[in-house]
Chains A and B, each alone.
Chain A
Amino acid sequence: MNGTQKQLKAGFPWKQVIGLILSLTLTFLALWIAVGLSLPVHVTIAIIVSLAIFQAFIQLFMFMHVTEGTEPVHQLMGILFGIYVAFTVVAGTLWILAYAL
C-alpha cells in the first residue's frame, strides 16, 4: 500500500525523459557525423568515441542509479569489472584480427 502511494507521488519522470532525449540525440548525432559528414577517419572516430563516453555517463547517472544504493563498493566493482571486460573484448579483438583484417 505504501509502495503504491510512493509510486504515485513520484511525479513525472523528468530525469528519465531528458535522459532518453539526450541518448537519442547523441546516437543520431554520431550517425550523422559518421555517415553525413566526410571528415578524416581519425577525426570521425575521435568524435564518436567521445560522444559514446558521454552517452555512457548519461546511462549510468540517469537510468542506472549509479549514485543510489547502500553499498557503493558494489557499484565500484561492477564498473571496474565492466571496464575490464570492455577493454578485453575491444583490445583483444583488435589484436587477434590485426593479422586477418
Chain B
Amino acid sequence: MIDSVKSFLGWFFVTGDPMIYGADASIALVSIGIVAVLTYFKKWKWLWNEWLTTVDHKKIGIMYIIAALLMLFRGGMDALMMRAQLTLPNMHFLDAEHYNQVFTTHGTIMIIFVAMPFIFGLMNIAVPLQIGARDVAYPFLNALSFWLFFFGAMLFNLSFVIGGSPDAGWSSYAPYAGAEMNPGVGQNYYLIGVQISGIGSLATGINFLVTILKMRAPGMTLFKMPMFTWSILITSVIVVFAFPAFTVALALMTIDRLFGAHFFTIAAGGSPMLWANLFWFWGHPEVYIVLLPVFGIFSEVIATFAHKTLFGYAVMVWSMVAISVLSFITWLHHFFTMGNTAPVNAFFSISTMLIAIPTGVKIFNWLFTLNKGRIQFTTPMLWALAFIPNFTIGGVTGVMLAMAPADYQYHNSYFLVAHFHSTLIAGTVFGIFCGLHYWWPKMFGYMLDEVKGKWSFWIFMISFNICFMPMYFLGLMGMTRRMYTYPAGLGWTPINVVMSIGAAGMGIGFALMAYNIVWSAVRGKKDTTGDPWNGRTLEWATASPAAEYNFAHIPEIKSRDAFAAMKEARAAGHAETVPPYKAIHMPNNTGIPVIMSAFMFIAGFGFVFEWYWMGIPGLIGVVACMIARSFVYDDHHYIPVEKVKQTEAATGRLS
C-alpha cells in the first residue's frame, strides 16, 4: 500500500532535479504568502468583487498584463537557463531532456502566454476608449476569454512540477509529439493547456471585431478610427479565421494521443506532415496576430511624439489589409525542406517575399511621419524609434529565408533563430513595452519614471543586439537550433559567450523595468490631466484612470485624431456646452466566467492524466455554468445621474 502510494507520488510529481525542488518550494511559499496576505488584510471579498468577477474592459486589460508580465518572467528564466547551458562547450548545467523541456516551454509561453495576452491586455485598455465606447460588445465573453487564457496558462505551467513538461518544441511536430515516441503527460499538457487558452483567444477576436464594427462613437467612420484600432480590427479578423485551424489540429492530436487515433502517424495511414501543415496554417497568421497590433501602437506613439498626424493613413490601412490577406498564403515557408515539389516551394517563396512590400510601405510611412516632426524623446518614443531599424533587420533576413533554395542552408540553424527573435523582440516585445509605458498613466493614474524607463530601454535594446546580432553569424557557421550542447574547437565558443552576456543584459533591463514599476507605484508622478502626453486620440479625453463608464457623454466625432481636433477647437475658443447627464447603462459583474474556467481547468487536468473520472465531471461543470448563464436575466444596471455627477466632479471634469 505505502509502496504504491510512493510510486504514484514519484510519478505524479517531477523528481530528481534540485532546481525542480527549488521551484516546488518557491511555488508553495508564494502561494502561502498570497493567501496569508489576502487573509491578513481581509482582501478576499475585495479580490472577488473588484477583480475576479469584473466585466470592466479596463480591469480585464490590467489582469491580462499582470499575467503576461509574470509569464514573461517565467519565459525569460527559461531563456537564461538555455543561455547558461550553451555559454561554454560541454556544459552539464541541464541534461538533454531538461534542455528540450526548457526550449519547448520558452517558445510556447512567449508566444501564447506572453505576446498574445499582453496585446489583448493593451487592446482591452485602449480600444473601447479610442472608439468612444463604454465597454466591449460582449463584456461577459471578455471576462470568460481572460479566465480561459489564465487557467490554460496555469495548466500549462503546472507541467513543470507535476507530471513533467512537454519536450517536443513549441511547434510540437508529429511524429515525435505522438503517443508512441513521447509517452507520459507532458505533451498532453501542451495540447490541452494551449487549447483552453486558444478558445479564449478566438472569443477575444470575435469580441473586438464586433466591438469595433458596431460600437464606434457617432461620426467615427472606419476611416476616422485611430490606427491602433484599425490594427486590432484587422488582427481580430486574422484571429477569427486562423485559430480554428489550430483548434482542429490540437484536437486531432489530442484524439491521437488519448484515444489511439492515427491522424498524424504514417504507419496507420496518417500523415505527420499534415500536422506541420495545419500548425503553420495557424502559425503564420499568428505571427501577424502579434505584429499588427504593435504596428498600431507604434503608429500612435510616433504620431503623438512627432506632434504630427500620421503620414499616409489610408496607405497604412490598406497595407495592413494586404498583410492580412497574404498572411494566409505563406505558411509553407516554415517547412520548405520537408519534401515538397518545386512549384510548391516556388509559389510560397514568392508569396512570402510579397509580404515585405506592404511591411516596407509601413516602415517608410513611419519615417515620413517623423520627417520634420518636433520629436520628443520619451520612453515610449525610444522603444518606437528603436523598433524601426532593429525590426527592419529581422524583415530583411526574413526575405533571405524566404528564398527556398537558400533556406536549405539556413533552415533550423541559429540564423533562423536570430531572424525570428529580431522580429518578435524588436517588433512585438519593443511594441508591448512601448504600449505599456504609453498607456500606463491611463491604466493607473500615474506615470512610470522616465529616467529609469530610459535606462531600462537602453540596457535592454543594446543587450538585445549583443545577444542576437552575433547569432546570425553563429547560424552561418553551422550551429543548429535545439542542440543542448556542442564540442569545443568549432569556433562557436566566443560567440556563445557574447550572446550569453547579451541575454543577461536583457534580463537586467527587464529587472530594471520591473523595479521602475514598483518604484513608480509608490513615488510616480500623478497624472491629473488625463492627457500626460498631449495625445491625439480619444482615450486621452478621459480621466486617468478612466471612470467605470469611460465617457459621461459619448463624444461626437468629426475628424481623425478626434481629441487633437477637440483641443484645437477649445484653443480657438469654441465654447462647449455640456448637456445634462443621463443614467448610464452598464453590464453587471458576474462570477460565472471564473468558475466556468476553473471547471475547464479541472477538466483539462483530468484529460492530461487521462483520468476521465475527473475530466468528464469538469466538462459537466462547464456546461452547467453555460446553462446557469442562460437563465440570468438581471445582467445589467443603470448608474444614476447623481453618481455620474459625483464621479465627474471628483476628477475635476464638471465645470
Chain A residues with a Cβ under 8 A of chain B? 3-4, 7-8, 71, 74, 81-82, 84-85, 88-89, 92-93, 95-101
Contact A99-B277, Cβ < 8 Å, known A3-B636, A74-B213, A88-B329: no
Q: Is there an interface contact between A99 and B329, defined as CB atoms closer than 8 Å? A: no
Q: Is there an interface contact between B341 and A99, defined as CB atoms closer than 8 Å? A: yes
**Which 7 A/B pairs are nearest by Cβ-Cβ distance?**
A85-B241, A100-B273, A4-B633, A99-B341, A88-B328, A93-B277, A89-B281
Query: Which residues of chain B from 623 to 651 have any CB-CB distance to chain A below 8 Å in the complex?
Result: 633-634, 636
Q: Which residue of A lies closest to B272 (CB)?
A: A100
Chain B contact residues: over half helix, strand or loop, or mixed? helix
Q: Is there an interface contact between B344 and A95, defined as CB atoms closer than 8 Å? A: yes
- Is B332 engaged at the interface, CB distance under 8 Å to the other chain? yes
Q: Which residue of B lies closest to A88 (CB)?
A: B328
Q: Which residue of B lies closest to A4 (CB)?
A: B633
Q: What chain B residues lie within 8 Å of A4 (beta carbons)?
A: 633-634
Smallest CB–CB gap between B351 and chain A, Å? 10
- Is B588 engaged at the interface, CB distance under 8 Å to the other chain? no
Bound Cα distance A8, B213 (Å)? 28
Contact A97-B273, Cβ < 8 Å, known A74-B213, A89-B245: yes
Bound Cα distance A4, B585 (Å)? 13
Which one, B213, B277, B328, contacts A85 given CB within 8 A?
B328
Q: What chain B residues lie within 8 Å of A95 (beta carbons)?
A: 344
Q: List 30 A-B contacts (CB under 8 A).
A: A4-B634, A7-B633, A8-B633, A71-B213, A74-B213, A81-B237, A82-B241, A84-B328, A85-B241, A85-B328, A88-B329, A92-B281, A92-B329, A92-B331, A93-B277, A93-B278, A93-B281, A95-B344, A96-B332, A96-B344, A97-B273, A97-B277, A98-B341, A99-B339, A99-B340, A99-B341, A99-B344, A100-B338, A100-B339, A101-B271
Bound Cα distance A88, B282 (Å)? 12
Contact A97-B241, Cβ < 8 Å, known A84-B328, A92-B329: no
Q: Which residue of A lies closest to B245 (CB)?
A: A89
- Is B274 engaged at the interface, CB distance under 8 Å to the other chain? yes
Q: Is there an interface contact between A93 and B241, defined as CB atoms closer than 8 Å? A: no
Contact A97-B213, Cβ < 8 Å, known A81-B237, A81-B241: no
Bound Cα distance A24, B478 (Å)? 55
Smallest CB–CB gap between A26 and chain B, Å? 19
Contact A96-B340, Cβ < 8 Å, known A4-B633, A101-B271: yes
Q: Is there an interface contact between B277 and A96, defined as CB atoms closer than 8 Å? A: yes
Bound Cα distance A4, B633 (Å)? 6
Query: Which residues of chain B from 268 to 285 have any CB-CB distance to chain A below 8 Å in the complex?
Result: 271, 273-274, 277-278, 281
Bound Cα distance A88, B277 (Å)? 12
Chain B residues with a Cβ under 8 A of chain A? 213, 237, 241-242, 245, 271, 273-274, 277-278, 281, 325, 328-329, 331-332, 338-341, 344, 633-634, 636
Smallest CB–CB gap between A60 and chain B, Å? 15
Bound Cα distance A82, B238 (Å)? 11
Q: What chain B residues lie within 8 Å of A71 (beta carbons)?
A: 213
Bound Cα distance A97, B281 (Å)? 13
Bound Cα distance A3, B638 (Å)? 13
Contact A100-B241, Cβ < 8 Å, known A8-B633, A88-B329, A92-B329: no
Smallest CB–CB gap between B27 and chain A, Å? 41
Bound Cα distance A10, B410 (Å)? 61
Smallest CB–CB gap between B336 and chain A, Å? 11
Smallest CB–CB gap between A59 and chain B, Å? 13
Smallest CB–CB gap between B329 and chain A, Å? 6
Smallest CB–CB gap between B373 and chain A, Å? 35
Q: What chain B residues lie within 8 Å of A3 (beta carbons)?
A: 636
Smallest CB–CB gap between B284 and chain A, Å? 11
Q: What chain B residues lie within 8 Å of A85 (beta carbons)?
A: 241-242, 328
Q: What chain B residues lie within 8 Å of A100 (beta carbons)?
A: 271, 273, 338-340
Which one, A92, A93, A98, contacts B274 given CB within 8 A?
A93
Q: What chain A residues lie within 8 Å of B344 (beta carbons)?
A: 95-96, 99
Bound Cα distance A95, B241 (Å)? 20
Q: Which residue of A lies closest to B338 (CB)?
A: A100
Q: Which of A85, A95, A99, A101 is packed against the most chain B CB atoms within 10 Å?
A: A85
Q: What chain B residues lie within 8 Å of A82 (beta carbons)?
A: 241
Bound Cα distance A88, B281 (Å)? 9
Q: Which residue of B lies closest to A77 (CB)?
A: B237
Q: Which residue of B lies closest to A7 (CB)?
A: B633
Bound Cα distance A84, B325 (Å)? 9
Bound Cα distance A4, B329 (Å)? 46
Bound Cα distance A88, B329 (Å)? 7
Q: What chain B residues lie within 8 Å of A99 (beta carbons)?
A: 339-341, 344
Smallest CB–CB gap between B409 and chain A, Å? 22
Q: Is there an interface contact between B274 and A97, defined as CB atoms closer than 8 Å? A: yes
Smallest CB–CB gap between B404 and chain A, Å? 13
